Amino acid sequence: MHSLGSMKAEVTRWLRETIDPDLCKEAINDAVESLWQSLILVQLSNFMGGPVTVNFASGDERATIVSIPDPTTAPTATDVGPGPDLGTTISDINTVRTIGRAALGMVVDEHEGRTLVITSGVSNGETRVVKSNTATTITIEDADRDLNTTAGDTFIVIPAGAVPPRTYSLSYTLATESGSETLESPVLTHGPTPGGTLVEVASPAFAEKALGWNLYAGQTAGRRARQNDEPLPFGIPFQEPASGFLDEPELPSPPTENSTADDVFYIRKLEILTEDGTYHAWTLADIDSQLLRRASHTLSSTSKFQNYYYDFVNQRTLELRPAAGQALDPRYFFIQKPRRMRFDNAALPFESIPHIAFIRYHALNLLFLTNHEYQASSAWEDKAERERTRILLAVNQQNDPKHRTVTPYLYG
């Protein structure tokens, strides 16, 4: 199966010169959209998606359409790694430059250069660099500020550069080839994780139509930030970096809406199963039409034979008039459009239709045009259009066996 990455590599070979990878990606996406716009004219049913059930509670006037439902289970996480070099120790030796315990039996200077972490008391969470240690006492580096500990405060020693103890809030979203996402999953509070260990977050289960998953992590008291640039593959866990999860201002926060319906071009049909086992279709109309305005002034019955009218607005919302008279679960069929691919592992659409040559030729046409090589661009455009014609003629053959005549008393 061809992917965006393999097609980029193929187009670059045919181009025989260096090209901006992002420009190449956009040319391929333009080729995909161009072919799709032609294909829906000759065989719309190839792009029919559904049926998909959508739910209205009693009194609802709208529902949000999504292609991938929001996850309902929190992530799972474990701690991995060797842990601290010196585990949690209750201090009974405390000065402004030292901390220790009389019962310890450390090897002299075994912790030199490592990190001392205070884990309780007024200085909880503070770190210092270890200058030296005796069997019972740790001395901090001269450049470090004084300690403020008392007997009973606890401490650990971890490798230099290791992440100190912390507690994280973790969640994930499901992501598509365009980068659209679901809302975040329920949040997991994980910790406290011992110093010197890292958090490993397990992959969620595979989700239909999702390319992968995005991990969001942050300190419990702070915000969660996305930890990966591209969707993570299903089945592979994500391990916290050695420096800890990232929390930079420019990193995205969890989304506030499910945007995965970016593959829905329009709703073709909306129908509901009635009490007698037959389907009753609802009527599509403009939201500002007289039909919907009049329907807005009516009250719904509790029968599923009730006539409802709807519009699909903002490419993601079903507006229903009149308001639902009871809990309703109609199903819809929709025309699917290819998403704009952002990631190299995204599969090209049109699996059952010969399309590789057209996408290659059309992308080359656009790329030569950006380089002002008009003669070469025109030649590739001709090849692309001849290939488009062959594809459309082949796809049009699917219409031959379809029944086109009307026979009296024939239902179905």
Percent above pLDDT 90 for the chain: 75
Assess whether 319 and 346 both reside in one domain: no
- Domain total of the chain: 4
Whether residues 199 and 76 fall in one domain: yes
Q: Specify if 267 maps to a domain.
A: no
What would the DSSP string read from start to end of 282-330? Answer: PEE--TTSHHHHHHHTS---SSTT---EEEEETTTEEEEES--SS-B--
Asked if residue 323 and residue 310 are part of one domain, the reply reads yes
212 and 228 belong to one structural domain: yes
Q: E strands along 55-187, which residues? A: 62-64, 77-80, 86-90, 93-94, 98-100, 115-118, 127-133, 137-140, 154-158, 166-175
Helix (H, G, I), strand (E, B) or coil at 391: helix
Question: Are 78 and 175 within one domain?
Answer: yes
Mean pLDDT of the chain: 91
pLDDT band at 409 (very low <50, low <70, confident <90, very high): low
Look at residue 221 and tell me if it is in a domain. Answer: yes
Residue 95 lies in a domain: yes
Q: Which of 170-174, 193-197, 286-290 has the highest mean pLDDT?
A: 170-174
Domain span holding position 59: 55-66+278-329
pLDDT above 90: residue 379:
yes
76 and 173 in a single domain? The answer is: yes
Per-residue pLDDT tens digits for 198-249: 999 999 999 999 999 999 999 876 789 999 999 999 999 999 998 889 888 8
**Residue 405: Cβ within 10 Å count:** 5
Characterize the bridge pairing of strands 137-140 and 154-158: unpaired
Is residue 179 left, alpha or beta, with left meaning phi > 0 and alpha meaning psi from -120 to 50? left
Q: Does the pLDDT value for residue 13 go beyond 90?
A: yes
Predicted confidence at residue 408, as pLDDT, reads 56
Do 181 and 294 lie in one domain? The reply is no
Separation CA 274–CA 262 (nearest Å): 30
Same domain, 171 and 229: yes
Task: Please tell me whether residues 74 and 217 are part of one structural domain.
Answer: yes
Residue 109 lies in a domain: yes
Please check whether residues 168 and 243 belong to one and the same domain: yes
Q: Which two tokens stand for residue 173?
A: 């979203």
Mean pLDDT of 376-402: 88
**Residue 317 sits in the same domain as residue 341:** no
Q: Is residue 407 part of a domain?
A: no
In this prediction, residue 402 carries a pLDDT of: 67
Helix (H), strand (E) at residue 157: strand 154-158
Q: Tell me whether residue 209 is in a domain.
A: yes
pLDDT digits (tens, 9 = 90+) for 68-118: 999 999 999 999 887 788 988 999 999 999 999 999 999 999 999 999 999
Q: For residue 412, what pLDDT is reported?
A: 47
pTM across the whole model? 0.83
Whole-angstrom Cα distance, residue 174 to residue 179?
A: 9
